[in-house]
Structure 1
Amino acid sequence: MKLAIMQPYLLPYIGYFQLAAAVDKFVFYDDVNFIKNGWINRNRILLGDQVRYLTVPLSCASPSLKINQVLVEPRERWLRKLLESIRHAYAKAPHYPQVSTLIGRILAEPLAQISQLASHTVMEICKYLEIDTEFVPSSTKYGNAQLQGSERVLDICAREQASTYVNLPGGRALYDSEAFSARGVTLAFIEPNLCPYAQFDNAFHPALSILDVLMFNSKDSVRDMLRVEVSA
């Protein structure tokens, strides 16, 4: 069984979904410390020919809190404005009608914690793309928050009886393949495929939110983009 573990990100870039599609089970690491100015409550979109941030406002966000302790501000304060930003950015994109409806429904879900909302964006888009990976929040299952780093990852792998732990490339600097091998787990990686696609008549901007990918590409085309190789 292939397993991945990532913090829940809001409408993350396609590499996150390539990782999700490459594994059997995906753990949202939602009970680790919140990181300000990261990807938990924001991502990047293309507005005109400029890259801009799309942000969900938070209430009392602090690095001293776990991700699943940070609350989203009431939706009446931000949802309409955020959806309007998406309309301004992508109203002329070929797949705007169906994707804007999907995103509006996802973001309107009354979820109080940013961990819940960010995870929800990932799971609902995976459902739309017909990715059948199983998702689970780390806070609800493992009871091992006292562990840190690779020890906690290996403990989760053991509990899930995972044979392979799959990472994005940044994990190469964090984990020792011999330590995983000693516990009967293969440490593997994917290389995100950020293949260019037409973004109106602009020069291509890679690694934007999955929202950008969906606006300019059919569902079948996006599913093709998700196929990446898993290697040690």
Structure 2
Amino acid sequence: MKVVVSQSMYFPWVGLLEQVRLADTFVHYDDVQFTRGFYNRVQIKTPNGTPWLTVPTRDRHRGQLIDEVRIDDREDWRAAHRATLRAAYRQAPHLDEMLGIVDRVFSQSADTLGHVGRASIIELSRYFGLDSGTRFCDSRDLGIGGSSSQRLHDICVALGGSAYVTGHGAANYLDHHLFEQSDIEVRYMDYQRAPYPQLHGAFTPYVTALDLVANLGREGLSFIRSGSVSWKEFTHEPD
């Protein structure tokens, strides 16, 4: 059973959906410290480049957890983001389907970054049918303490995982041997960054997956196809 543990992200890139596709259980890992990343921002593709859409936050302080960071609703950022997306993709063949996903996320009650990030991932996964074989859960609900490799290991054990699939950043800190001692295989994403037809110039894989929806609709599922490799292959560790 493959486990993926990831911080929730605002309308994430295709690579995050590829992790969902590989997961039997996807754990939203939002009871960890907020740092600069993609939890509240994402790039879109426009005729003038790849600007950021950023969810505004308020009363943020050092050490705050992602699912504690409050969204600043004093301005209607949802309407502004929707208008920006509509303008950027007005010529895309599946504009209305893309905006439908946005509207479903924005219609949900969300007062923290954890809320809007989880909704973003789940709505995109549902659109492409990636949720049919994947269980979603929140790390906070598992009641597992600790940090870093030990906590990730303990989450996998608690879920009955036989494999832990992760992004590339984990190579900087993950204790692979800890997982091996529990017969849990560590695998890293082998991102293919498969090019698909995009508007506005040369292909870039690092924009929101809403871009894939707008350009290809549900046929975009065929471009969500990256696999994974063993940690030894990824880190060039000798057997």
Q: Given the two structures, how large is their TM-score scaled by the length of structure 2?
A: 0.90
Q: How many Å apart are 1:34 and its aligned residue?
A: 0.8
**Residue in structure 1 matched with residue 213 of structure 2 by the alignment:** 214
CA distance in 2, matches of 1:124, 1:75: 25
Cα 1:201–1:210 change in 2 (3 A) is: closer
Q: How many Å apart are 1:158 and its aligned residue?
A: 1.0
SS at match of 1:46: coil
Q: How many Å apart are 1:170 and its aligned residue?
A: 2.4
**Residue in structure 1 matched with residue 196 of structure 2 by the alignment:** 197
Q: How many Å apart are 1:99 and its aligned residue?
A: 1.1
**Residue in structure 2 matched with residue 138 of structure 1 by the alignment:** 139
Cα 1:201–1:45 change in 2 (3 A) is: closer
**Residue 35, structure 1, aligned to residue 40, structure 2:** no
What letter corresponds to residue 20 of structure 2 in structure 1? A
Identity %: 25
Q: How many Å apart are 1:76 and its aligned residue?
A: 5.4
- Given that residues 57 and 72 in structure 2 are in contact (C-alpha distance below 8 angstroms), is that contact kept between their aligned partners in structure 1? yes
CA distance in 1, matches of 2:160, 2:48: 47
CA distance in 1, matches of 2:166, 2:175: 12
What letter corresponds to residue 141 of structure 1 in structure 2? L
Q: How many Å apart are 1:75 and its aligned residue?
A: 7.2
List runs of 5+ in structure 2 lacking aligned partners: 231-239
CA distance in 2, matches of 1:63, 1:215: 37
**1:23-81, CA deviations, whole angstroms, 9 ceiling, x for partnerless residues?**
10011111101113x10011000121411001111122233211111111227521111
User: Which stretch shows the higher mean deviation, 165-174 or 77-86?
Assistant: 165-174
CA distance in 2, matches of 1:97, 1:188: 37
**Residue in structure 2 matched with residue 104 of structure 1 by the alignment:** 103
CA distance in 1, matches of 2:139, 2:5: 9
- Given that residues 193 and 225 in structure 1 are in contact (C-alpha distance below 8 angstroms), is that contact kept between their aligned partners in structure 2? no
- Given that residues 67 and 113 in structure 2 are in contact (C-alpha distance below 8 angstroms), is that contact kept between their aligned partners in structure 1? yes
What letter corresponds to residue 231 of structure 1 in structure 2? V
**Residue in structure 2 matched with residue 174 of structure 1 by the alignment:** 173
SS at match of 1:4: strand
Q: Given the two structures, how large is their TM-score scaled by the length of structure 1?
A: 0.93
Aligned length: 228
CA distance in 2, matches of 1:166, 1:68: 23
SS at match of 2:116: helix
User: Which stretch shows the higher mean deviation, 112-121 or 188-197?
Assistant: 188-197
- Given that residues 107 and 121 in structure 1 are in contact (C-alpha distance below 8 angstroms), is that contact kept between their aligned partners in structure 2? no
SS at match of 2:100: helix
CA distance in 2, matches of 1:140, 1:98: 32
Q: How many Å apart are 1:180 and its aligned residue?
A: 1.1
- Given that residues 59 and 71 in structure 1 are in contact (C-alpha distance below 8 angstroms), is that contact kept between their aligned partners in structure 2? yes
**Residue in structure 2 matched with residue 165 of structure 1 by the alignment:** 164
**Residue 3, structure 1, aligned to residue 3, structure 2:** yes
SS at match of 2:12: coil
CA distance in 1, matches of 2:29, 2:86: 31
User: Which stretch shows the higher mean deviation, 191-200 or 147-156?
Assistant: 191-200
- Given that residues 29 and 138 in structure 1 are in contact (C-alpha distance below 8 angstroms), is that contact kept between their aligned partners in structure 2? yes
CA distance in 1, matches of 2:172, 2:35: 19
**1:206-231, CA deviations, whole angstroms, 9 ceiling, x for partnerless residues?**
211111111111312x2112222232
CA distance in 2, matches of 1:130, 1:198: 21
List runs of 5+ in structure 1 lacking aligned partners: none
What letter corresponds to residue 9 of structure 1 in structure 2? M
Cα 1:204–1:228 change in 2 (3 A) is: closer
Q: How many Å apart are 1:134 and its aligned residue?
A: 1.1
- Within 5 A, what are the aligned runs for 1:44-123? 44-74=43-73, 77-123=76-122
Instruction: Give every structure 1 segment of 4 or more consecutive aligned residues whose post-TM-superposition deviation is greater than 3 Å.
Output: none
